[in-house]
Amino acid sequence: MKSLSIAAALLLVSMLSFSAVAHDGHHPDAPNPSPNASVSQEIGYEVVTITHGSPGVKGREGKVWGELVPFNGGEPRPWMAGANGSSIITFKEDVKINGQALAKGAYGLFMIPSADSWTVVFSNNSSKYGIMQYKKEEDALRITVKPTEAPLQEWLKYSIEKTGDVSADISMRWENLKVTFSVEAPDKREGH
């Protein structure tokens, strides 16, 4: 009887272990397949922060852009510019993005890629899962940028590179592409 109880307990433990494996084949204790990340940089007098999920290429070279992330397939819901929900960009003061005014605040950062040009969208819906309720009429700003080829970047990465006292370039890199836009904060020094 005791051996039957032990066998039943072992069977129960193995069933619980099996059921703990997620539907996508990943164990819940395994690392996040698209780890969450953030980058911050002081630009001018305040900080700009981007939070996002970082998917990996994972052997899909040549299949990320146009396949995994479809070209021109983002309307009416563009790509969330990362993984695990919307990417969020926060400005602590009013800025200019590629020369166009954008008020301080948090924005959903979305992108609509194509082979030749990309639309970068700053949405007033800054919810982590705002992509699920995306509405074009909530866009605060849209800009068009040209993607450039770049060395292989395994994990999606945002970088903020200072270009002056109150300016910087923000770039998104993943697989073999880089998408960049400029940010300029107000210069509050006398005479500027």
Q: Which pLDDT score, from 0 to 100, does residue 140 have?
A: 98
pLDDT more than 70, % of the chain: 82
pLDDT at 46 over 80: yes
Would you place residue 18 in the very low, low, confident or very high pLDDT band (cuts 50, 70, 90)? very low
- Selected residue with higher pLDDT from 25 and 135: 135
Taking all residues of the chain, what is their mean pLDDT, rounded to a whole number? 86
**Residues composing the chain:** 192
**Interior angle at CA 81, CA 80 and CA 82, nearest 5:** 90
Q: Can you tell me the mean pLDDT for 71-83?
A: 79
Say if residue 1's pLDDT is above 80. Answer: no
pLDDT value for 24:
46
The Cα–Cα gap between 72 and 80 comes to: 14
Instruction: Write down the domain spans for the chain.
Output: 1-30, 33-184
In angstroms, the CA 43 to CA 51 distance is 17
Residue 130's pLDDT is 81
pLDDT for res 22:
43
pTM of the model: 0.82
Strand ranges (E), the chain = 36-43, 46-53, 87-91, 95-97, 100-102, 105-112, 118-123, 139-145, 148-164, 167-184
